[in-house]
Structure 1
Amino acid sequence: MKFNTISVVGLGYIGLPTAAVFASRKVKVIGVDVNQHAIETINKGEVHIVEPDLDMVVHAAVKEGYLRATSQPEPAEAFLIAVPTPFKGDNHEPDLSYIESAAKSIAPVLSRGNLVVLESTSPVGATEQMAAWLAEARPDLSFPQDAGEDSDIRIAHCPERVLPGHVIRELVSNDRVIGGMTPKCSEAASNLYGVFLQGQCVVTTARTAEMCKLTENSFRDVNIAFANELSIICDKLDINVWELIRLANRHPRVNILQPGPGVGGHCIAVDPWFIVSSAPSEAQLISTARKVNDGKPLWVQEKVKLAIADFLQANSDRTAADVTIACYGLAFKPDIDDLRESPALQIAKGLFATHPGPVLMVEPNVKALPRSLAQAELATLEKALESADIHVLLVDHKQFKAVSPELLEGKLIIDSRGCWPENH
């Protein structure tokens, strides 16, 4: 099956790099998004997100005429849906409304022989639900759930498994799990990704592919929870957790991860809840790990409050309103601008809402603060180091790791990442 035109619905942190990589292989790509700013930016050959090398690939693809962004889907041979899949409510129920909207938006332009791939990380059964929405919108076409191998439309699930900051490289090099609703659906999807993929296409069912991505991220979440819980225990017992982990990891079969202020991003902080929602009675360990990681930001905020109390005790002429706090980093991981589900952002918002004095926000990867912090100050690293009384390191951005020990000497530091000298 030859793909002359590919449509990518959702031009965010996964959709835009995917569209750009296809376009770099001289395939016409139509990117679809509801964000008009993103559309205009991409059509100028620029990018609206921070990801190494993405700007160069997008610029070349647009300049050569292989990539174009629009707000309305157009006909294509293949449609990739890469929209958010958040959860909703206190019970963390999966929210498939973005997938539903995307499916209904492409339905009018579908034609016999098309392939639809759901890339969005999804709860088990989401691909079948998407197929049902498409079938409802286009009763004139047949779909795998009814027509099997003879369906007019091929449908598959192929979750991304890339690391922010390395997306362009890993899109090409990593293996892809292809979950077609039928073998012919899997074959069509494998042919599609074969346009650029250097890794292998590993074929399975749609449900297994969905569960595979959730399992990968839940495995990481459980391991991070162990490190985060260990850091809380070590703090209580007056043990340096960073040294402890370095020593424990010298064991040939031990590889403890590094603790932090919590877990963020749209994957690890969200995906385990999809498993819990599907099997709440059985997913005991996964649920507990989520609660440990979700509780870490509040623990960090309490550590800051204790530091404020210590500072005021040592400076009796000052009040809490006179104490300046600097929060270093708002993104969910180093050297990117992605704030989704970020524990650093949650901590910064909590401190800004409760602390009567100034709270400086230092995030070198964004040009403006999110609306929730619109009244706060986006400060430079230099100003924060010079003027803050309490320094809260939340993300180990390269700029923060490069700060010389001399500039940190004598400062009151809460280091949730263990990368400033005092914690080593």
Structure 2
Amino acid sequence: MFSHVCVVGLGYIGLPTAAILAAQGIRVTGVDVNERSVAEINQGHVPFVEPDLEAFVVSAVNRELLTAQTEPAPADAFIVAVPTPFHADKSADLSYIEAATRAIAPHLTGNELLVLESTSPPGATEFMADVVFQERPELKDADLKFAHCPERVLPGRVMTELVENDRIVGGLTPEAAEAAAELYRTFCKGEILLTDAKTAEMAKLVENSFRDVNIAFANELSIICDKLGINVWELIELANHHPRVNILQPGPGVGGHCIAVDPWFIVSAVPDEARLIRSARTINDAKPQWVIDQVKAAAYGLDQPAVALMGLAFKPNIDDLRESPALSIAAQLADEMPTARLLAVEPHIEELPKALAGRSNVAFTQTEDAIATADIVVVLVDHDAFKQLDPELLEGKALVDTRGLFRA
């Protein structure tokens, strides 16, 4: 039975996990290096947008079941949910996992469970164990249990999917897998699927690579259709009437911390074999440049074009900008079209992100004002707020619609 859990990393996955554990009556110490986030959480505030999460956090803090701080504390179980970006060569950067593990090590006494939730390449959980034993060699026979339990939730539905989705739990030993499963059973109503740690790590990468490959097909199809003068949205709708065809929708690229990153971990591990996965990543990484070229073509002949950039988040109806192709497109246009007036619209944030702040040719603008002013309207994110727009507002304006909001 777990009475105290320490969650290291209070971001988009760690904080919801901490809050849902606290809702089960388990005492949780949340740890984050960001002092501002720690202070906000201890006041019952959530430093990012996620439906329903704040109610869980407020309840947990008020019941004194959730406390945030900047250093780990002794606990029965530790969950590490920190970023795993990649290096310039696309190999995984495990430095955040290493730093979190080294911070945990002094607080271990034996018999604890350590769970890695961060999306990681095969072998990362074993790496975490090695770091612990480097720091604390005397604990090698202390029955520490190491497991990997990858998150698989959708931003905007995290609090629901944490409970309802099936979970994969992989241990360095069968005993570690079962201990981790016991922890997740405290809140997870989905099926708990036990395996070894390396398979669990690979499962998350495969899930996101599958999606990446299918998105790449849609994105490549959109470029082909543009070349042939075919409406890609109509084409996909027609093709999807086949009982065994389900083509996804194209977009300006692929963003987020998962799909845009995880496939590279497979490519880095087996570069000669991961040919299709590499090709999909290359196609999706190249799509923003294609969008930029479309905007430049629409601006041809205009001395100081006003360009409305509709959306900066990496997906609809959230404030998450991680690996956002829309944000990347906006920043690159600011560099490559210095005489243009870029009118950035993002209803889910309150100020321009760092990538755009301070640029003289970029303004943070309300939706209607941006469209009224613009010569060119670029739809980058299909937020619900944009779906409500009257198409007549676009009359007389050039349109680059990467999300098919205005398909006529």
- Tell me whether the two structures share a fold, i.e. TM-score over 0.5: yes
- In structure 2, the partner of 1:304 is 295
- In structure 1, the partner of 2:92 is 94
Alignment equivalent of 2:145, drawn from 148, 154, 160: 154
- In structure 2, the partner of 1:365 is 348
Shift of 1:348: 0.6
Alignment equivalent of 1:185, drawn from 163, 176, 194: 176
Shift of 1:408: 2.4
Alignment equivalent of 1:324, drawn from 291, 306, 321: 306
Give me the whole-angstrom Cα distance separating, in 2, the residues matched to 1:267 and 1:365.
Answer: 21
Deviations 1:178-202 (A, max 9, x none): 0001111011000000110100110
Alignment equivalent of 1:214, drawn from 195, 205, 214: 205
Q: Give the letter aligned to residue 377 of structure 2.
A: H
Once the two structures are superposed, the pairs formed by residues 104-183 of structure 1 within 5 Å of their partners are 104-142=102-140, 151-183=142-174
Q: Give the letter aligned to residue 184 of structure 1.
A: E
Once the two structures are superposed, the pairs formed by residues 69-80 of structure 1 within 5 Å of their partners are 69-80=68-79
- In structure 1, the partner of 2:405 is 419
**Residue 34, structure 1, aligned to residue 33, structure 2:** yes
**Residue 253, structure 1, aligned to residue 244, structure 2:** yes
Alignment equivalent of 1:389, drawn from 375, 379, 382: 375
**Residue 228, structure 1, aligned to residue 226, structure 2:** no
Deviations 1:201-254 (A, max 9, x none): 100000000000000000000000000000000000000000000000000000
Shift of 1:409: 2.7
- In structure 2, the partner of 1:316 is none
Unaligned runs of 5+ in 2: none
- SS of 2:67's partner is strand
Percent of aligned pairs with the same amino acid: 58
Q: Give the letter aligned to residue 388 of structure 1.
A: A
- SS of 2:115's partner is strand
Give me the whole-angstrom Cα distance separating, in 2, the residues matched to 1:371 and 1:343.
Answer: 15
Q: Which 4+ stretches in 1 moved above 6 angstroms?
A: none
Alignment equivalent of 1:379, drawn from 365, 386, 396: 365
- SS of 1:140's partner is helix
Give me the whole-angstrom Cα distance separating, in 2, the residues matched to 1:183 and 1:135.
Answer: 20
- In structure 2, the partner of 1:347 is 329
Q: CA RMSD in A?
A: 0.9
**How does the TM-score come out when normalised to structure 1?**
0.94
- SS of 1:88's partner is coil
Q: Give the letter aligned to residue 88 of structure 1.
A: H
Q: Give the letter aligned to residue 376 of structure 2.
A: I
- In structure 1, the partner of 2:12 is 13
Shift of 1:353: 1.2
Give me the whole-angstrom Cα distance separating, in 2, the residues matched to 1:36 and 1:139.
Answer: 31
**Residue 404, structure 1, aligned to residue 393, structure 2:** no
- SS of 1:156's partner is strand
- SS of 1:360's partner is strand
Give me the whole-angstrom Cα distance separating, in 1, the residues matched to 2:351 and 2:128.
Answer: 36
- SS of 1:163's partner is coil
Give me the whole-angstrom Cα distance separating, in 1, the residues matched to 2:94 and 2:248.
Answer: 32
Give me the whole-angstrom Cα distance separating, in 2, the residues matched to 1:342 and 1:392.
Answer: 15
Deviations 1:61-85 (A, max 9, x none): 1111111110011111000000000
Q: Give the letter aligned to residue 351 of structure 2.
A: A
Q: Give the letter aligned to residue 414 of structure 1.
A: V
Higher alpha-carbon deviation: 246-255 or 344-353 = 344-353
Give me the whole-angstrom Cα distance separating, in 2, the residues matched to 1:388 and 1:405.
Answer: 14
Shift of 1:410: 2.9
**Residue 334, structure 1, aligned to residue 352, structure 2:** no
Give me the whole-angstrom Cα distance separating, in 1, the residues matched to 2:116 and 2:131.
Answer: 13
**Residue 53, structure 1, aligned to residue 90, structure 2:** no
Give me the whole-angstrom Cα distance separating, in 2, the residues matched to 1:197 and 1:418.
Answer: 36
- In structure 2, the partner of 1:288 is 279
- SS of 1:116's partner is strand
Equivalent residues, number: 404
